[in-house]
Structure 1
Amino acid sequence: MSDNKKHSSINTSGNVEPFLIEDVEWQTFSHGERFASRYRQLGEFGGCSHVGVCMEELSPGKQACPHHYHHLEEEQLMILDGALTLRLGDKTYLMQAGSYVVFPAGQKAGHSLFNHTDAVCRYLLIGERNPHDVIVYPDSNRISVRLAGEGYNKAATMDYWESEDA
């Protein structure tokens, strides 16, 4: 049906056509021994740029990404198969097939996913793709400013008038 390229569900007249999830190529991410996942960018494959939908798989013993929260972007997560541990703020929750959670924009409670089981966990992650988002990583005291494509250490904050000649 498709050729596994970005936006390949758009036909010659510019209309988006249905596609099989299996037609979307798996991509992988890893950083060190702790972080790794594989995912299919379903929304992007279909031509979407404002809402992201990914099918992700998290292997046993892996964490999907650093603990974080978004100022301008909301995310939603639905577990399809398997189980994992959600860390939300200072609490942890066991999530299994059929579990659903929403991370509203501006909710100052970091979230992260860890597969504590011996089987792969598959889930859908739905989120905005706000180019102006600011992401806070409470564990590392880091802030990422998506628009600038830069990250900062929160310990280096400055007062509004600091370093300005009066």
Structure 2
Amino acid sequence: MAAESKAVINIADLKLDHWKQGEFYQGADVSFGALLGLSGLGVSYNEVPSGKSSCPFHNHHVEDELFYVIAGTGEYRFGSERHPVQAGDVLGAPAGGPETAHQLINTGIATLVYLGISTMAKTEIVEYPDSGKFLAKTNRDATETGRFRHIGRTEGDLDYWDGEPGA
């Protein structure tokens, strides 16, 4: 365990990051896996207001995710299906293609509160089926050099040899 990590954390002691993006995306959250000394497991606490979602519909090619609903009600969009969810429900989002794309939406009147837990791969590809985007990234410690993050669309694919000297 890292010198600054703790064995026990109380959510009430963490500072939430409050944010809003457009009309549909809003939340208050904090990631704290690293504070517990977890290098291969991501953990976040999330609060989402009524009628909002904390992220776009997306799927991971490498990382698995799990969500535990602490309070409130909502809808779990998973692949082509939609599932009502409530406090006590555990939601799985395994790595895969669009069939495992997922999004949690607060359809209730109270704040939707949940924990997000995920594996932390060194390299990840995330797709966003609604917008046709993808994210390619490396998950390295913020102190490490060589981190990579790129969001784009697949149209305009290049040939493998495009731009290479002597090709």
Tell me which interval the TM-score lies in, with the shorter structure as reference length: 0.7 to 0.9
Once residues 10 and 88 of structure 2 are traced to their aligned partners in structure 1, the CA distance between those partners, rounded to angstroms, is: 21
* Structure-1 residue corresponding to 2:65: 75
Unmatched runs of 5 consecutive residues or more in structure 1? 1-9
Structure 2 SS opposite 1:45? helix
C-alpha distance 73-60 of structure 1, shift in aligned 2 (>3 A): same
Tell me if structure 1 keeps the 8 A contact 2:98–2:129.
no
Cα-to-partner distance string for 1:93-127 (whole Å, 9 max, x where unaligned):
10111111111112432111111111101111101
What are the ranges of 5 or more consecutive residues in structure 2 without an aligned counterpart? 139-147
Judge conservation of contact 1:24–1:41 (CA < 8 Å) in 2.
no
Is the CA contact 2:69–2:89 (under 8 Å) kept in the aligned structure 1?
A: yes
Q: Does 1:23 align with 2:20?
A: no
Q: How does 1:11-160 map to 2 (within 5 A)?
A: 16-109=6-99, 110-147=101-138, 148-160=148-160
Worse-matched range after superposition: 141-150 or 36-45: 36-45
Deviates more, 1:120-129 or 1:27-36: 27-36
Q: Which amino acid aligns with 1:98?
A: G
Task: Label 1:15 to 1:31 Cα distance change in 2 as closer, same or farther (>3 A).
Answer: closer
Provide Cα deviations, 1:11-48, integer angstroms capped at 9, x if missing partner. 6xx66332322111111232112111111323133232
C-alpha distance in structure 1 between counterparts of 2:108 and 2:11, whole Å: 25
SS of equivalent residue, structure 1 residue 150: strand
Q: Percent identity?
A: 28
4+ runs of 1 displaced by more than 6 Å?
A: none
- Separation in 1, partners of 2:149, 2:67: 25
Is the deviation greater in 83-92 or in 35-44? 35-44
8 Å contact 2:5–2:35 — kept in the other structure?
Answer: no
Using the size of structure 1 for normalisation, the TM-score is 0.83
Give secondary structure in 1 for the equivalent of 2:45.
Answer: strand
How many aligned positions are there?
156
Structure 1 stretch displaced more, 16-25 or 89-98: 16-25
- CA distance in 2 between counterparts of 1:37 and 1:116 reads 14
